[in-house]
Structures are given as structure tokens and as C-alpha cells.
Amino acid sequence: MNRFVHGLLALIIAIGSMPFSTGHAVENVTYTFGVIPQFDTRQTLAIWEPLLAELEERTGLNFQLQGSSNIQKFEAAFMDGDFDFAYMNPYQVLKASKSQGYVPMVRDIGRSLSGVLVVRKDGTVKDIADLAGKQIAFPAPNALGATLVVRTDLKHIYNIDVVPVYVKSHSSVYLNVVMGEADAGGGVQKTLSQQPLSVRGNLRVIYKTRDITPHPVTAHSRVPASVRESVRLALLAFGESKKGQALLSAVPINKIGDTSIGDYKQLGEWGLDEFYVSH
């Protein structure tokens, strides 16, 4: 065998032993996923860690849940563009879209969001007029349904000023009212319904706000369009299986569907900026 043939055979063997490649780079990026802290840390982890694990399984992508101890820190993070993906409230979408180009992808299309004011069932507050000058517990200054819309309605519809007390989460709001630490509390209907009976059973809703388009899952504009589309389609597919529906219902999302920034622009006309705290 001459040197040329020997060399050719060696080259063929070497090529045959190389790993097969499709020409596509292996995805090795970890995408951060921020979640608005509506619940305490333990409950937030219990809801979102299984969901993101399933999303990884369906997309082949890697996600890291990036928690925030309160809504102020969550807002500061997305305003700085810290999250690749985020689940945020409808008014935050307007801020995040303007500051960082976050794009709403999917949301609950099976319901609307509304803020509620709750009082103790056996308390002295009987009517919304009784709240003038009273201490009202809110999760955070910029919580949309639970704080911004409630405070805007009290001021501009009922001409009522209150003393806000911020207690970090919806769950803490309801506990503060039950324990008598606040005369009333602002929340949303869905988080109220998720409270244990020992809490929920001692509360009464005295006011419900106008309806709001629910929270979306958003993506930062820097995330490649192909990745955003992969995540969008995977989340939509959650709604087609019992396992996926169970994961979404804990968020809570009753029926998942597409959304866009146009679904949230009406909020910009409600005068919420009067009570919005910029960071």
C-alpha cells in the first residue's frame, strides 16, 4: 500500500470516528425568569420551580428562577433588564416595555383581574365610607390590582384618603386584617380565594375594582426571537395537557392564550401614575 492510499484510509477512519453534528450549536445558555412576589417565597418556589422544570423539558432550554423579596426589588430588577423572562403585572408591562423593550407573550384569557378591599367580618368597618383616614394594608406601593387601582378608585371615585401600610405580599395583607393590625386590606380576588379557610373565612369583601387584563409572561427584547417563540409555543401547549393545566392553575392561569402590548395600553389612561412610585 503506497503512502497516498495509507493516508487516505487514515483520514477516512478519523472522519468516521468524529461525533455527528447537525450543524446547530448546542444550547448552553441559562435564561433568568423573574416572578412578581404575590406570595411568600416558599409558595412562589412551590408554584414556579415545577413549571420551569416542565418548560425546560419541553423546550430543551435552561431556566433559573430569580426571586425578589418584594415588589420594589422586582421592579428595580426588570427596569434594569435583569430578567430574560418575567411574569409581571399589567401596569408593570407598560413600564417594562418602555424602559427595556419587554414583550408580552401569553396570559390568562379565561378571566379578568380585579382588585378587592377586604375587612374583618366582625369588624367595625361596614361600608367603604368608613375607611376615610383609616390604616389600609397593601402588599406594595406598585401592586396593580391590590394597591394602585384600589387607591385610585378610593381617591377619584369616592374622594377618600387612607393611610397606606405596606406589608410585602398579598398573604400578609389578609393576615394583617384578620389579626386587626389594619382596618382593611387591598388584594385581588384570585389570591384571596387561595388563602386558607382560617383566613378567608374571617374576611369580607366591601369593594371590587373595575376589571383588568391579567398578568402576562414577558420576554426581554434581547432574547432571540427563536427562543421566545419556543417558550411561547411550549407555554401554550401547557393548556393542552392535564399536567400542564395543573401547573398553570397554581400561578394562577385558568386558560392560557396569546397576548400583546395592545391589551394593556388602556391602563395608561386610568391615572395610576399619581400613586405609582418610581425607582
Q: Is 50 left (phi over 0), alpha (psi -120 to 50) or beta?
A: alpha
> If DSSP codes are grouped into helix, strand and coil, which group holds residue 83?
coil
Q: Which one, of 265, 215, 263, 199, lies nearest residue 114 by Cα?
A: 215
Q: Which residues contact 158 (CB under 8 A, 6 or more apart)?
A: 128, 129
Q: How many residues does the chain have?
A: 279
Q: State the pLDDT at residue 279.
A: 64
Q: Which residues contact 243 (CB under 8 A, 6 or more apart)?
A: 54
Q: Where in the chain is the domain with CATH 3.40.190.10?
A: 30-111+213-274, 115-208
Count of CB atoms within 10 A of residue 68's CB? 21
Say which amino acid occupies 126. K
Q: State the pLDDT at residue 278.
A: 80
Distance of CA 188 to the CA centre of its chain: 13
CA distance 62 to 31: 6
Count of CB atoms within 10 A of residue 124's CB? 9
CA distance 209 to 188: 9
Q: Which residues contact 179 (CB under 8 A, 6 or more apart)?
A: none
* Cell numbers for 31: 435564561
CA distance 22 to 53: 26
CB burial of 25-42 (b: ≥16 within 10 Å; e: otherwise) equals eeeeeebebbbbbbbeee
Say which amino acid occupies 274. E
State the pTM of this model.
Answer: 0.75
User: Which CATH number among 3.40.50.10470, 3.30.300.30, 3.40.190.10, 3.30.465.10 corresponds to the domain 115-208?
Assistant: 3.40.190.10
Q: State the pLDDT at residue 83.
A: 98
> If DSSP codes are grouped into helix, strand and coil, which group holds residue 95?
helix
Rg of the Cα atoms in the chain: 24
- Report residues of the chain scoring pLDDT below 50: 3-26
Q: Which residues contact 25 (CB under 8 A, 6 or more apart)?
A: none
Distance of CA 72 to the CA centre of its chain: 14
Count of CB atoms within 10 A of residue 183's CB? 22
Say which amino acid occupies 277. V
Range 30-111+213-274 classified under CATH 3.40.190.10: yes
CB 133 within 8 A of CB 194: no
For 60, 115, 208, 219, the CA distances from 132, given in Å and listed in that order, are: 54, 18, 17, 41
